[in-house]
Amino acid sequence: MIDAKQDVIYIGKSKNLRSRVGSYFRSSGDLTPRIKLMVRQIQDIEFIVTDTESEALVLESNLIKEKKPYFNILLKDDKKYPYLCITWSDDYPRLFITRRRRNRNNKDRYYGPYVDVGLLRKTLFLVKRAFPLRQRPIPLYKDKTCLNYSIGRCPGVCQEYISPSEYHKTIQKVEMVFQGRSNELKELLEKQMHKYSVRLDFESAAVIRDQLKGLEELTTNQKMALPDTSISIDVLALSSNSKLAAVQLFQMRAGKLVGRLGFTVDCKEQTKSQTLQKVIEEHYSQLENVEIPQEIVIQYELPQQKLISEWLSEIKGKRVNLKKPIRSQKAELIELVERNSKYELDRVQKGIEETALAVEDLAQLLDMTTTPTRIEGFDISHIHGTDPVASQVVFIDGLPAKHHYRKYKIKDLNINIGHSDDYRALAEVIRRRFKRWSLLIKSGVDLDQYKSKPKSFLDQNQLNDWPDLIMIDGGKGQLSSVYTALEEIGLSEYICICSLAKRKEEIFLPWRKKPLSTDPNQIGVRLLRRIRDEAHRFAVGFHRQKRSERMRRSSLTEIPGVGPKRIRDVLSHFNSVQAIQIATIPQLLEVKGLGKSSAKQIYDYFHPQDSIQ
């Protein structure tokens, strides 16, 4: 499935393609919010025919690996669990913890999602202490190393004291830790240490000895173990209700528990065995062959267990067995993993119920006739009128829907340095946000009938972003300006709006002079505060970005004879104005396309005393 930008957003397979694809478009009421969001973005559908189910499974796996479509990510919310990312797309890869997998380079590798973020942070800390790794995303200094190099924590990548190929060898060793191959790594390091000892290179041998000590510290934290130290297995179990399943995966490597991953899956109209099979397909399709164990212990027999086993065996290059144990220690492991999945399901379900209650409470608080599904929050950010921007955040069913967030640059020329006007800014944003809806009204469309009309997600001319509630960050004045703007475009009678003032956390409505009488700890009020705080965070972040860009470019734009293209080239080479200020003329000439006269002009601008001499 492909969106308007020709990006692949979903890849799937089916024996009956007509039925599978048609199910997305017959009735939107049966779709989950996540799938509804995906269907709205579909512009085109391509299909490939294979001879067998096995070929389809392998093809799907390969395409998902290659394209990395967003809606094939198993977790419903990719902010839920953290991943460990290794940026193989860089000459000197970084290691860092992230909760977002989208919009990154296809060469980068992800490990996780990890349930225990504390253990993940400790593991990364110990790895960075045991192996000399790049510590900073951007070098602290341009022409010298920082303290990390002096104490042996970094091999000096900022000054290229180590070649990319040599650094990649170090990263490959570190990668083995997160692949659950610590024992293989220990054997490899022990052999290298012995070679260095034979050569009487005791300094290098001591470095490897310290790395082995670090690996020992990593593995001694594991409390759970199997008696057979040679075994490497994954154990999967789930707990589910009518709509949701929580899946837990315990990774046992060399007899020890090295990782616990968690997934939350929509399981509507699926059996537990079907859900478990889908998790196995999506999880293992993203792994390298060395990361797949030779044995996978499962809670239920899979519908296509033989086919899945053959597929995994083909990826790994060795036989991969899937087993459902009945008696033995592995059956006890299944019980333990299932117990963990029950706790996770209870936690997720409790969060869903609390969110639903908060939305219902908010509807009662604002005297709304229906429970709001889509709530939009707006805020303005600036410093005394400089770099004025606005944010629009969207919550669907009480949860943030970040795909729908929008940023606005304020275009009103009356808002400038020293002349701030939040009322005018909010009115401008609201007019721009609802411009298309106001055109519908002017064309004579009955808005109530239009909103109730069944929507075709493939018809881009239809509007699908009508909010049930608008929340403004501010007091009575901000609310009045927004209401006036809605009146001007003919939408004030159709939409519910409110504002939330920061100081006393007071809620204002357009038709009331005084704020609502509310309890600050009321769950509906807390939801409104979350929306307000998110809108504020998003607006401030955008403002800081614009201000930083302006400050970074302001001094360069004053240089005579240097245009915007030259400024971009110089900034992309040096990364900061400070680095340009201390650069010599020969260093400036290293910028691609920069001539001697331009380089001298830039140098003279920052060193006027030299040009006078």
DSSP string, 447-464: HHHHHHSPP-TT-TTS--
Q: What is the pTM of this model?
A: 0.57
What residue ranges do the domains of the chain occupy?
A: 17-72, 88-220, 233-348, 366-548, 558-612
Cβ–Cβ < 8 Å for 422, 474: yes
Cβ–Cβ < 8 Å for 519, 525: yes
CATH number of 233-348: 3.30.420.10
- pLDDT tens digits, residue range 515-542? 888 888 889 999 999 999 999 999 999 9
347 Cβ neighbours under 8 A, 6+ residues apart = none
- Using only C-alpha atoms, the chain has a radius of gyration, in whole angstroms, of 29
Q: CA 60, CA 48: separation in Å to the nearest integer?
A: 10
Which H or E run contains 245?
strand 244-253
Which segments in the chain show pLDDT lower than 50? Answer: 77-78, 220-225, 457-458, 611-613
Partners of residue 110 on adjacent β-strands: 85
Fold of 366-548: Nucleotidyltransferase; domain 5 (3.30.420)
Strands 233-240 and 295-298: parallel
152 Cβ neighbours under 8 A, 6+ residues apart = 132
Q: CA 178, CA 114: separation in Å to the nearest integer?
A: 11
- pLDDT tens digits, residue range 26-84? 766 677 667 777 888 888 888 888 877 777 877 787 788 777 787 876 555 445 678 88
What was the pLDDT predicted at 102? Answer: 61
The encoded tokens of residue 183 equal: 């024992």
* The domain over range 558-612 is classified in CATH as 2.70.150.10: no
C-beta neighbour count of 211 within 10 angstroms: 23
Partners of residue 510 on adjacent β-strands: none
Q: CA 100, CA 77: separation in Å to the nearest integer?
A: 9
DSSP string, 289-316: GGGS-SEEEESS--TTHHHHHHHHHHHH
Cβ–Cβ < 8 Å for 350, 372: no
The encoded tokens of residue 493 equal: 């009678």
What was the pLDDT predicted at 148? Answer: 84
Evaluate whether 366-548 and 558-612 have a shared fold: no
Rounded to whole angstroms, what are the CA distances from 278 to 109, 273, 284, 505? 22, 9, 10, 45
For 522-559, letters b (16+ CB in 10 Å) and e give ebbbbbbebbbbbbbebbeebbeebbeeeeeeeebeeb
What was the pLDDT predicted at 545? Answer: 87
Q: CA 65, CA 39: separation in Å to the nearest integer?
A: 22
The encoded tokens of residue 576 equal: 């900061």
Q: CA 200, CA 456: separation in Å to the nearest integer?
A: 74
Q: CA 506, CA 7: separation in Å to the nearest integer?
A: 44
Cβ–Cβ < 8 Å for 569, 562: no
Nearest to 457 by CA among 18, 28, 159: 28
Cβ–Cβ < 8 Å for 296, 234: yes
Q: CA 418, CA 386: separation in Å to the nearest integer?
A: 7
